[in-house]
Amino acid sequence: MEVRKYKYWIILVAVLLAIFIPISIYYFSTDNSEDNGPISKLIIDHDGGADDAMAIFMALLYEQYFNGPTLIALTTTHGNVNESQAFLNTQRVLDIAGRRDVPIYRGSKSSLVMSVPAGDWFGVDGLGDNVNEPIEPIEAHSKHAALGIIKLVNKHPGEITLAAIGSLTNVALAIQLEPELISRLSHLYVGAGHVYSESEPTPEFNAEQDAEAYHVIMQNATPDKVTILPFSQVGTKNITRQWREEVLGAIQTKIMTSLNQFERISLQYANYWSLLDPIVLGVLLNDTIVGDVKYSQNSIVLCGQERGINTNSFTTKEEANVKVINRIFQDDFKKLLLTIFSAELYN
């Protein structure tokens, strides 16, 4: 009997060791220092273009069908269009998505110092200059976007991820008013800038829209809290216009039909399709599409002919102020888009 008892104890110990040793090895050998965990709440700061519309739709669909983060606010700023038009476009996007409950905070109408003309890449109205049916207005929140960001972040410290996909004026103002803002975020994703090279000697649109705002953010950034997605690195020229129109664009939903209309002008400009804002949301929602990450001491030139051009000194995490997404898996990004935008067909 004693021998049998010891035998049971030996088996029990062996089973426990088999369970806990692999767990311990995984836990202590894995660097979880940069793992922010699942994103629970999301704010998107945007400038009202068709690319912003796609990013917002991605967030809403991911929330609905994939248990994604709750979109708790949209904040508007100048950029692709003026802020007033960005506000109108935000109402239209939420109306199409059937999500008129998402709060809108209206933000900055101009840059901190010097504004840059927006152009009409997505049409004068930013959504393809379509003849749209009138919608019932959605009233904006009474607070300015910068104050709204501060209020929400202080109410939910450590829970909010902020995606900045337009000019960065609202975010910079919020940081100036609340210097601890970034530390109280779960994470800040900034879709802006280039990694300078002889082939990219010009400023990127979002960064140039408010260079001083970009500078403010970089002065307060830390690599565990701020990730930059430079267009030069993640903007893809390998996704064809044909794929956008005939594969992604063929999804038979109200949202995709609207997006096709919103991009009807911009799609005529090139044989490839490349929008930064959806890539930012793609990385934020599913980081398995990230191919390469670097640490950088990142900034921006504020004076002279090179104003608006980003500077990067790639270095160690200890010496960096941001993480830079240096590459994405383009095929995985395409699959993610198809999965998100076709979800409502199968649910």
Per-residue pLDDT of 311-329, as tens digits, reads: 999 999 999 999 999 999 9
Nearest by Cα to 154 from 165, 143, 164: 143
The domains located in the chain, with CATH, are 41-345 (3.90.245.10)
Question: pLDDT band for position 7 (50/70/90)?
Answer: very low
How far is the C-alpha of 222 from the C-alpha of 205, rounded, in Å? 23
The pLDDT > 90 percentage for the chain reads: 83
Other C-beta atoms lying within 10 Å of the C-beta of residue 201: 10
Say which residues have a Cβ less than 8 Å from residue 75's Cβ, sequence separation at least 6: 43, 44, 45, 46, 104, 105, 106, 107, 145, 148, 149, 170
**Strand pairing category for 322-328 and 290-300:** antiparallel
Indicate if the pLDDT at residue 14 is higher than 60.
Answer: no
Tokens of 60: 């809403």
Average pLDDT for 112-132: 91
pLDDT, tens digit, 9 for 90 and up, residues 16-67: 334 333 333 333 233 333 444 568 999 999 999 999 999 999 999 999 999 9
In whole angstroms, what is the distance from residue 293 CA to residue 328 CA? 9
Q: How far apart are CA 266 and CA 264, in angstroms?
A: 6
**What pLDDT does residue 132 have?**
81
Whether the per-residue pLDDT at 278 is higher than 90: the answer is yes
Burial class, 252, CB count within 10 angstroms (exposed 0-12 / middle 13-18 / buried 19+): exposed
The model's pTM: 0.89
